[in-house]
Amino acid sequence: MDTAPRLILLIGYDSNIALGVLACLRNQGFSFYLLLHNKKNAARCSRYIKKTFYYNAENDSLKDKIIQIVKECKIDFIMPYDELETREVTIHQSELSKYAPCLLGTKNPILILAFIN
């Protein structure tokens, strides 16, 4: 029985962190979408990224953009990986969690793994 991969929306700025997350999770049964405001982020070229979305950090509402992508792509998990994005997702976590669980690095990693499985 083949199950569809679960979808993670990665949100951040830094290429190195994004590529590190992809390297760690690439063989764990996930597919990845990327939301960023850095058009030079090298992770956008990774073969593990199904689609990249952009937002303007000064003009766009990150919360609204996340909700739009989660609905449009049927995202299973929201995972910010940079400080600014983690702060924004944490501030709006109660609302965002209505659409998909938020995996935050501020939580206990053992609990996150238990939640994913």
Helix axes 83-91, 62-73, angle to 10 degrees: 80
- CATH code: domain 6-116 is 3.40.50.720
pLDDT tens column, 66-104: 999 999 999 999 999 988 899 999 999 999 999 999 988
Cα–Cα distance measured from residue 51 to residue 95, given in angstroms and rounded to the nearest whole number: 24
Q: Among candidates 8, 18, 24, which has minimal Cα distance to 45?
A: 18
Provide the pLDDT confidence category of residue 27 given band limits of 50, 70 and 90. Answer: confident
CA angle, corner 58, sides to 89 and 65, nearest 5?
A: 45
pLDDT score, position 111:
47
Q: Is the pTM of this model over 0.75?
A: yes
Measure the CA dihedral 71/47/107/113, to 10°. Answer: 100
Residue ranges of the domains in the chain?
Answer: 6-116
Amino acid (1-letter code) at residue 24:
C
